[in-house]
Amino acid sequence: MEALLQSIEKKVRPLIGQGKVADYIPALAQVDPNQFGIAIYSNDGALYQAGQADTEFSIQSISKVFSLTLAIKHYGEDMWQRVGREPSGNPFNSLVQLEYESGVPRNPFINAGALVISDMNQSRFAAPHYAMREFIRRLADNPNITSDKLVSDSEYEFRARNASMAYLMKAFGNFDNDVEAVLHNYFDNCAVRMNCIDLAKAFSFLANKGFSQHSNEQILSPRETTQVNGLLATSGLYDEAGNFAYRVGLPGKSGVGGGIIAIVPNQFSMCVWSPELNKSGNSLAGMAALEALSESIGWSVFG
């Protein structure tokens, strides 16, 4: 497996230079684009890696999967009254559908959906970001995971777009808590730093019927796990979810830090990272690596 990962790294590294590092905040614009890492974790505990698999990066929207998991554990089916389960077909930070759909975001992975879920978690925890951080540390089996204050402060400074979504949802009655407080927690979650190995391990429960080996804990029920994987497959890569299904064929979630996690149900969880993004805000080399991997092993869930 590691020989295959190394050959894939060699194949996709030349793509670096064709994309663009996220530049909506200065703290992310400074990341060295010339980086690539991949890690795969199997349900029997084997870890395979290549490249800079132990270099930390900003997980950004990958954090939305942790927030969703926490919300499902607490709210169960009730949460779907406040957020939908349909792909949006629009960029991750789009506002347009919110107005037409009475402040109910299309899915939990676009920013509007993740903000509503952060609002739910805000109602439940006294210190929502710390609850989330503890959860992530347990799942990744790494007590040293932290959030980058420089990144979250910068996100807050340039919050206008996310703030406008949250206030619009508040106007529609789909937001319970103080918007600014929720934004702070949402940005702290996005600014968590992890490496590919941490993320591959942390999401092993999605490949393992909801069970996390490290924390020896049933995180979600087997049914909830298939449901989350279904949502990841249909909405995890925003307006590129169709292309991801076509090229990779696995449940996945991207972040503008250049990370993408992907799940091979009942077998593997993995994470690939390379900071340069394509037009939809997804890692360019990361997508190509997952495509090559899925193709060579025949991993697409579509048969």
Site for ligand GLN in 68-87 (CB under 6 A): none
Buried/exposed code over 21-33 (b: 16+ C-beta within 10 A; e: otherwise): bbeebebbeebeb
Q: Whose Cβ is closer to ligand GLN: residue 50's or residue 232's? A: 232
CA–CA dist 111, 113 (Å, integer): 5
Phi (first) and psi of residue 218, to 5 degrees: -85, 105
Task: Give, to the nearest 10 degrees, the angle between helix 179-190 and helix 63-75.
Answer: 120
Q: Whose Cβ is closer to ligand GLN: residue 6's or residue 93's? A: 93
Q: Does 107 carry a binding-site annotation?
A: no
**Residue 93 in the binding site for ligand GLN (CB under 6 A):** yes
Please give the size of the binding site for ligand GLN, defined by CB under 6 A.
11
**Residue 155 in the binding site for ligand GLN (CB under 6 A):** yes
**Residue 98 in the binding site for ligand GLN (CB under 6 A):** no
Among 35, 61, 94, 235, which residue interacts with ligand GLN (rule: CB under 6 A)?
Answer: 61
- 3-state DSSP percent of the chain in helix, strand and coil, to 5: 50, 15, 35
Q: x-or-dash pattern for ligand GLN, window 195-234, by CB under 6 A?
A: ----------------------------------------
Q: Does 24 carry a binding-site annotation?
A: no
Does an H or E element contain 47, and which?
strand 47-51
Q: Does 186 carry a binding-site annotation?
A: yes
Q: Which amino acid is at 92?
A: F
CA–CA dist 291, 234 (Å, integer): 17
Q: Does 111 carry a binding-site annotation?
A: yes
For 63, residues 6+ apart whose C-beta sits below 8 A from its C-beta are 132, 189, 190, 192, 255
**Strand 268-273, strand 37-42: pairing:** antiparallel
Q: How far apart are the first and last CA of the chain?
A: 21
- Minimum CB–partner distance for residue 58 and ligand GLN (Å): 8
Site for ligand GLN in 159-178 (CB under 6 A): 162
- Minimum CB–partner distance for residue 23 and ligand GLN (Å): 12
**Residue 154 in the binding site for ligand GLN (CB under 6 A):** no
DSSP H stretches of helix in 208-269: 222-235, 241-247
Both tokens of 240, joined, read 């590129």
Among 15, 116, 145, 190, which residue interacts with ligand GLN (rule: CB under 6 A)?
Answer: 190
Q: x-or-dash pattern for ligand GLN, window 246-285, by CB under 6 A?
A: ---------xx------------------------x----
Q: Whose Cβ is closer to ligand GLN: residue 5's or residue 190's? A: 190
| Known binding-site residue numbers for substrate | 61, 111, 155, 162, 186, 238, 256
Q: Residues in the site for ligand GLN, rule: CB under 6 A?
A: 60-61, 92-93, 111, 155, 162, 190, 255-256, 281
